[in-house]
Amino acid sequence: MTLRTTWAASLAVVAMVITSAPAAFAQEAPDSGSRAPTATAAAPAADVDRSVVLIPVKDLAAAQEESRRTHSLTTSADAGKPVLLSPAPEPTPLDLATAEKQNRRTAAEHGQTSDGGRTETLAAPAPIGDQPDPTLLAECLSKDDADSDFGRVHNRFTYCNEREGVVDFYWVVNGRRIWRGTNTFTYQIFAQGDNTSRRIRVFSRVVEDSVRYNWLLRWDQWFTGRDVRLNLMANCPDDFTLCHAAPSSVSLPFVVWDNNDDWYNWDVYGHDSAGVGRDLITLNRFRMEYWGEGAGATVQRGWSPSRWMRCDSGSYFSQGTTVYPEACVFNEVTPRLNYALASDYRSVAQHIYEAQYFPNSTYPLLVPPGVPQPRDKVIPGRYDPDNAAAPGLHRITETLHPGEYKANGDHKDGACYKTGPEAALYADTGLPTRPNTPDEQCDEYPFASTLEGAANPDWDFSVKAVPQRDNSIAGGLLGSYYNDDRILAWDPTLPDTLANDRFYVHIE
C-alpha cells in the first residue's frame, strides 16, 4: 500500500468520525492503553490525572494535510501564538483547626503513621539535596500504598506517589471536539520535608519507557505524539499569601521524557507571615501539575490530588549544639512513637503497655486498698487506628511550660517516693515500695514532658519502679522522637486547642 493510499484511508476514517459518529463518540478520548491507531472510545479511569489540549481549526482537511507533511500538532498559521493555559482550580480555603481535623481523619482513613509502620525508632530527617534520598526513595516507593490515589506518607518528612497521567488532544471545529490522540504516562512524586527551613522539596519524573501513544492518524501516532511537549511542575494551589512554589515548569518532548530517568525538583514554601500562634504554624497544600503544549491551543492542566504540609518556626528544637528553628512536614499522618517490648528498655515498654491496657492495676490507686473503686482509671496516649479522635499526648517543655512541668514532677514524686508538696495526696494510694535508688528510678506515664502528665486533673497516670538504665534509654528515645517527628509544644494561644500537635505511643 502506498503512502498516498494510507493517507487517503486515514482521512476517510476522520470523515467517518465527523459525519456519522454520535456526538459522545466523537467527543470522548479512547482507552489510552493501545499503541495502535484506533477510533474506539472508552471511559477513562476515575483516578487518572488528565490534561486536555484543544486545537482550534477552521478547515479540518487542510489541518490534516499540513499535519501529514510537517508532523506538527498545530498549523503554521498558529506558529508564534501563545498557549492559552487555563489555571487549575483552587481548593476551598480552610482555617487551621478545620484543616488539622481533616488531616487527622485522612490519616486514620488511610492508615498513615509517622513511623512508616516500622517497629524501630525513627531516623533523623535526611538532608535535602538535588536528588531524592536513595534509601528513603526505595523504602517509600516499594510499599503497597505508594501507587494508591492517596500515595504514602512514609513519615512526617517523606511522601511518595506513583501515578498515571493522561493528555488528550482534540481538534475543535465549529465548537465541536474531535478526538485526535492521547498520550499516557506514569510519573513519580517524591517529596522531602526540611527541618531547617519552611519548605518541602518535591521531586518528580516520568518513568522511563512508560509513555503510550494512541493517535487516530498514523503519522500522528509515530511522529506528532512523540514530539509534543509535556510540562511538569510542583505547585501550591492555595492563596499566594499562604505559600508559593519555585521554579517554573520543566518542558520536554514526550519522547525525551520517555527515554531518561532524570529527577527534577521544585520547592514549596509556607509563609511565616501567614502563620498562626507562637510557632507561626501554616497548613497548605501542594500537588504536581502538568499539561501538553501547542501554539495557539487552549490547554487545561492535569494535576495530582493535593496533599497537606505543615510549616512552623518553633525555636525550641535542637540536637546538641545544632538548632532547627524552622521546618515543614507532611501533616496527613498520625504521629506515633514506637516502643518495643523486645528491647534494652523492656521494663519501660512493659509499664506503658500495662498503663494503656490494664490501667486499674497500676499505681497510684484511685482509692486506698480495701475501698471500692468508684470508676476505672483512664490513661490517654494509646494509638487507636480506628479512632482519629482518640485522646493523644501533647508536648510541653520546662522553658515554655514551667508550671505544668514542675507540677508533673511533684505529683510523680508524691506517688512514687511519697515526698514533696503532693506527698500527702498519695500517702495511701501511691507505690507501696519506693524505687531502690540509684539502681532503680520512677517511671511515669503519661510522660513528664506532656500536658497529660501526672498533674493533669482530667486524666489518670501510672508510676512504676524500673531499672535506671532502661529509664535512661527510653527517655533518650523520647527526646529524639520529639525532634525527628517535629512534635510542636502545646500552645494555648491557638484559636482552637484541637489545632495543637499531638502524638501517640504504640507498644510492639
Looking at residue 26, its pLDDT comes to: 43
pLDDT per residue as tens digits for the range 384-408: 998 888 999 999 999 999 999 999 9
- pLDDT band of residue 4 (cuts 50, 70, 90) is very low
Three-class SS of 254-274: HHHHCCCCCCEEEEEEECHHH
Give the residue-averaged pLDDT of 426-446.
97
- pLDDT band of residue 47 (cuts 50, 70, 90) is low
pLDDT per residue as tens digits for the range 107-150: 999 999 998 655 555 567 888 999 999 999 999 999 999 999 99
For residue 7, the cross-strand partners are none
pLDDT per residue as tens digits for the range 451-465: 999 999 999 999 999
Tell me which of 78-82, 160-164, 426-430 is least confident.
Answer: 78-82
- pLDDT band of residue 19 (cuts 50, 70, 90) is very low
Residue 24 has pLDDT above 80, yes or no: no
Residues 463/430, Cβ–Cβ less than 8 Å: yes
Give the residue-averaged pLDDT of 189-206.
97
Distance, in Å, from the CA atom of 440 to the CA atom of 474, rounded to the nearest integer, reads: 14
Residue 35 has pLDDT above 70, yes or no: no
Cell numbers given for 196: 531547617
Give the residue-averaged pLDDT of 243-272.
97
Give the residue-averaged pLDDT of 305-324.
95
Looking at residue 356, its pLDDT comes to: 98
pTM: 0.88
SS3 299: strand
Cell numbers given for 259: 527515554
Distance, in Å, from the CA atom of 268 to the CA atom of 246, rounded to the nearest integer, reads: 7
Looking at residue 80, its pLDDT comes to: 67
- Over the chain, what is the mean pLDDT? 89
Look-up of cell digits 518553633: 314
Written as one letter, the residue type at 125 is P
Q: End-to-end CA distance of the chain: give it in Å, rounded.
A: 70
For residue 418, count other CB atoms closer than 10 A to its CB. Answer: 17
Looking at residue 14, its pLDDT comes to: 41
Q: Is the dihedral of CA 448, 454, 457, 462 positive or negative?
A: positive
Phi, psi of 84 (to 5 degrees): -90, 90
Give the residue-averaged pLDDT of 80-98.
84
Looking at residue 230, its pLDDT comes to: 97
- pLDDT band of residue 196 (cuts 50, 70, 90) is very high
Count of CA atoms in the C-beta half-sphere (13 A) of 24 = 3
- pLDDT band of residue 438 (cuts 50, 70, 90) is very high
DSSP state of 111: T
Looking at residue 117, its pLDDT comes to: 55
State the alpha helices, DSSP H only, in 313-466: 346-357, 402-416
Looking at residue 67, its pLDDT comes to: 84
For residue 164, the cross-strand partners are 186
For residue 407, count other CB atoms closer than 10 A to its CB. Answer: 18
CA angle 257, 260, 264 (to 5 degrees): 70
